[in-house]
Amino acid sequence: MLFLLSSPVLFPLILHFLSLLPPTSARQDRSAPRDIHALSADHLRYLAEADPPEWEGTVEGHLGKLLIPRPVGSKNSTLVQNYISSVFKRLGWHEEQNPFKSETPIGELDFTNLIYTFDPDAPRKIIIAAHFDSKYFPDYPANQFIGATDSAAPCSFMLDLAEAMTPLLQSRRDRLRNGTGILRDGFDEEDAGETTLQLLFLDGEEAFKDWTNTDSIYGARHLAHKWSESFLPPTHPLSLSARRFDPTPSVLSTIDVLVLLDLLGHRSPRIHSYYRETDWLHGLMSSADKRLREAGLVEVESGEEGWFSENRYGPGMIGDDHVPFNQRGVSVLHVISNPFPNVWHSLGDDASALSVPAMNRWNKILRVFTAEYLGLAPESSASSGKRIPEDGEARRSADEL
């Protein structure tokens, strides 16, 4: 599925890959650190305990619908796509399906990327992404490969995240429409509301034979190219702003950062940072995990305290869906276990490879990370049903708008 550039023989290839990347300044502007307001202890607890509830088994929540072989173009792939779509239709998110055809080593196949956006009119977005296809194997029993960590579990985390974030996003939207956005020291909800959440389910990440530049990441390559040539209208805020990233801003210019999830859900993941412009986001996610652990809001299995490494690696180490976006200037936070799970690309990557405490922990980490990035906070206490106030908070009145 992925190509690990770890051999010294491949060092010249790494240098060539780096030479293809846009200038650093082109990416840093997009992913410049935001003013992050950490959730209060009450907010942290509320968000960790909010619906949907913790999973008690691997077939609970959304995961049970995804733990099936689902190679590109199969009936099971269509079932998974329809299920994902049904979740977002119920939540009221904007759906965009991106179907396309591509030649593969086994012939021409139909692919479909699934794109869900809470507010499609927002000028900027943070994208959280994973691939929903499982690796194709031609013969039994290998063709029963499920890919639980790769990437059924990450997709299920995204569905949980959508359900948890929707009430907060809806409350923000209502406040801004009513002219009662939150104002407090250093925080203006109207400004924060210009960035929305987009969840991207990519098709065709896996190679059909050997991982090459043409036999891999089909959906990501297609979508990155499409978005790079989809230019923003002159009336778009990024077209009007002097802070635009290029003379002809495209859909890619609206992406603050692409957070790619892969090979997660098992015990003992090691999460490293690969891009200097998103080291701070790796730190934000690590901080969310640390605070949840210290507050006793996640179950930590023996020896599982430290998932997030302080090591800083260089870009280009791991080929994955982020590459065509990063090559076009999109900042990336690659959240992938490295080393890979020992069941990688084997029939052992099924439900038995997953850890329920680890998956519940990831769900809560992603909730806190996303809420803090977007400046969202729970509106009411789980215990009292009353709004949890913030110190120094005020409301934006209609007269101030």
Task: Kindly state whether residue 275 falls inside one of the protein's structural domains.
Answer: yes
- Whether the CB-CB separation of 246 and 337 falls below 8 Å is answered with no
In the predicted model, what is the mean pLDDT of residues 105-113?
A: 98
Give the model's confidence band at 283: pLDDT under 50 very low, under 70 low, under 90 confident, else very high: very high
In a domain, 400, yes or no: no
What distance in Å separates the CA atoms of residue 274 and residue 6, rounded to the nearest whole number?
A: 14
Is the Cβ–Cβ distance between 248 and 231 less than 8 Å? yes
In the chain, the number of structural domains is 1
Assigned token pair, 105: 């080593």
Active site includes 262? yes
Region of residue 96 (left: phi > 0; alpha: psi -120 to 50; beta: else): beta
Which of the four pLDDT bands, split at 50, 70 and 90, describes residue 243?
Answer: low
Residue 138 is which amino acid? Answer: P
**What is the per-residue pLDDT across 212-241, written as a single tens digit (0 to 9) for each?**
999 999 999 999 999 999 999 988 988 877
Provide CB contacts within 8 A for 327, sequence distance 6+.
20, 21, 22, 224
Residue 391's pLDDT is what?
Answer: 42
Judge whether residue 1 has pLDDT over 70: no
Q: What is the mean pLDDT of the chain?
A: 88
Which residues touch 110 (CB under 8 Å, ≥6 apart)? Answer: 72, 73, 99, 100, 101
Q: Which of 54, 133, 163, 205 is catalytic?
A: 205
Alpha helices in 295-376 (DSSP H): 323-327, 356-374
- What are φ and ψ of residue 365, in 5° steps? -60, -45
Record the tokens describing residue 327, joined without a space.
Answer: 């090559």
Which residues is 158 bridged to in the sheet? Answer: none
DSSP per position, 237-278: HHHHSTT-SSSS-BGGGGEEEEEEEES-SSSS--EEE--GGG
In a domain, residue 1? The reply is no
- pLDDT for residue 378: 83
Q: What is the CATH number of the domain that holds 39?
A: 3.40.630.10
Give dist(CA 61, CA 378) in Å, integer.
22
Which tokens go with 366? 């992603």
- Residue keyed to tokens 């992938």: 336
Q: Where are the alpha helices (DSSP H) in 335-401?
A: 356-374
Q: Mind listing the pLDDT tens digit for each residue in 203-220? A: 999 999 999 999 999 999
Output the pLDDT for position 7. 42
Res. 31: pLDDT tops 70: no
On whether the CB atoms of residues 146 and 152 are closer than 8 A, the answer is yes
Q: What are the φ/ψ torsions at residue 16 (nearest 5 degrees)?
A: -65, -40
Question: Is 389 among the domain residues?
Answer: no
Residue 246: predicted pLDDT = 63
In a domain, 390, yes or no: no
Instruction: Give me the catalytic one of 160, 262, 277, 321.
Output: 262
Cis ω on the peptide bond leading into residue 141 (within 30° of 0)? yes
pTM of the model: 0.90
70 within domain boundaries: yes
Q: Which domain holds residue 351?
A: 8-384
116, part of any domain: yes
Which residues make beta-bridge pairs with 260?
129, 334
d(CA 222, CA 203): 10
What radius of gyration do the chain's Cα atoms show? Answer: 21
Amino acid at 110: D
Q: What's the confidence (pLDDT) of residue 242?
A: 44
160 is catalytic: no
Say if 394 falls within a structural domain: no
